[in-house]
Structure 1
Amino acid sequence: MNLSITPERKSAIWRSVREFLIIIVIALVASFIIKTFFFRAFYIPSGSMENTLQIKDRIFVNLMRPGIWDIDRGDIVVFTDSDGWLKDTAYDTSDTEPNALENVLIFVGLQPDPAEQHLIKRVIGMPGDRVECCDDSGRIKVNGQPIDEPYVHAGVAPSDFEFDVTVPEDSLWVMGDNRNRSADSRYHMDGELEGFVPIDTVTGRAELRVWPFDAFGDAGNAREPFENVPEPAGATHSK
Structure 2
Amino acid sequence: MSGARREGDGRGRLGAALSGMAVAVGCVLFLGGFVWGALVYQPYTVPTDSMSPTVQAGDRVLAERISGDEVRRGDVVVFRDKQWGDMPMVKRVVGVGGDEIVCCDGDGRLTINGKPVDEPYLHIEGPAAERFTAEVPEGQLFLLGDERKGSLDSRSHLQDAGQGSVPRSAVEARLDAVAWPLSGGAVERPEGFAALPGGVSQPGPVGLMLVAVAAGAVLIVGGAAYGPTVDRLGGARRRKVVTAGAA
Q: TM-score, normalization: structure 2?
A: 0.62
Task: Report the identity percentage.
Answer: 35
What is the aligned-residue RMSD (CA, Å)?
2.3
Gaps of 5+ in 1: 1-26, 88-116, 232-236
Partner of 1:66: 67
> In 2, are the aligned partners of 1:76 and 1:220 still within 8 Å (CA)?
no
> In 2, are the aligned partners of 1:128 and 1:167 still within 8 Å (CA)?
yes
User: Separation in 2 of the partners of 1:156 and 1:50?
Assistant: 17
1:228 alignment partner, SS class:
coil
Query: Where do 4+ consecutive residues of structure 1 move more than 6 Å?
Result: none
The counterpart of 1:186, out of the listed 147, 155, 180, is 155
Matched, 1:43 2:13: no
Q: 1:108-187 residue pairs with structure 2 within 5 A?
A: 117-155=87-125, 160-187=129-156
Matched, 1:202 2:171: yes
Partner of 1:55: 57
Q: 1:93-104 residue pairs with structure 2 within 5 A?
A: none
Partner of 1:225: 192
Pick closer, same or farther for the CA change 1:220–1:155 going to 2, 3 Å.
Answer: farther
* AA in 1 matched with 2:171: V
Partner of 1:23: none
Q: Deviations over 1:117-139 (max 9, x none)?
A: 20010010011111111112221
> In 1, are the aligned partners of 2:136 and 2:162 still within 8 Å (CA)?
no
User: Separation in 1 of the partners of 2:68 and 2:99?
Assistant: 17
* AA in 2 matched with 1:169: E
> In 1, are the aligned partners of 2:103 and 2:131 still within 8 Å (CA)?
yes
Give the number of equivalent residue pairs. 168
- Greater helix content: 2
Q: 1:20-35 residue pairs with structure 2 within 5 A?
A: 35=38
User: Separation in 2 of the partners of 1:175 and 1:156?
Assistant: 19
> In 1, are the aligned partners of 2:74 and 2:193 still within 8 Å (CA)?
yes
Q: TM-score, normalization: structure 1?
A: 0.64
User: Separation in 2 of the partners of 1:156 and 1:164?
Assistant: 21
Q: 1:66 offset after TM fit, Å?
A: 2.2
